[in-house]
Amino acid sequence: MIRIEAYTEATKDHIRELNYEWLKKYFSVEPNDVLQLNDPQQYILDKGGYVFYAFYDDKIAGNFSLLKIDDKTFELGKMATNAAFQGKGIGNAMLKFCLEKARQLGAQKRSFFFPTKLKSAIHLYEKYGFQQVPMGETHYVRSDIKMEKRLTAND
């Protein structure tokens, strides 16, 4: 069983641990990652964002954040799944929750910057209606596309 819970002081180190593991496996840890992951309170929560954890059998299996861009846009960020829990639907559960939370917050768009290297993740996002849009500016070196989903009352 998968459940999603909000960030607490007791879970704060897990965002760093999960994301560092993921980033080191596929890429490298960038300066903006260090800021957000070492102090999510200041660099995510205090800026109007959110951090959530996915639990599987009462163990933290993954995490993600909603980074507030403006009153109508949230960026999906810092999404990672522990390797031991991959293939168990954690990514699907986190993405469904993320879209519902963004809708509840009145967001009209969800976007994220992403590396095309991770084909299975792109397939997951496309399954939920995300589409590639012009890149614009990003502070992530690893990202080479931007994906976005316009939210409706039905999402």
**Could you tell me the CA-to-CA distances from 8 to 5, 15, 49, 81 in Å, in that order?**
9, 11, 14, 18
Domains of the chain: 2-107 (3.40.630.30)
CA distance 91 to 89: 6
- Residues 6 or more apart from 29 whose CB is under 8 A from it? 20, 23, 37
The reported pTM is 0.81
Q: What is the pLDDT of residues 52-101, one digit of tens each?
A: 999 999 999 999 999 898 888 888 888 889 989 988 999 899 989 988 89
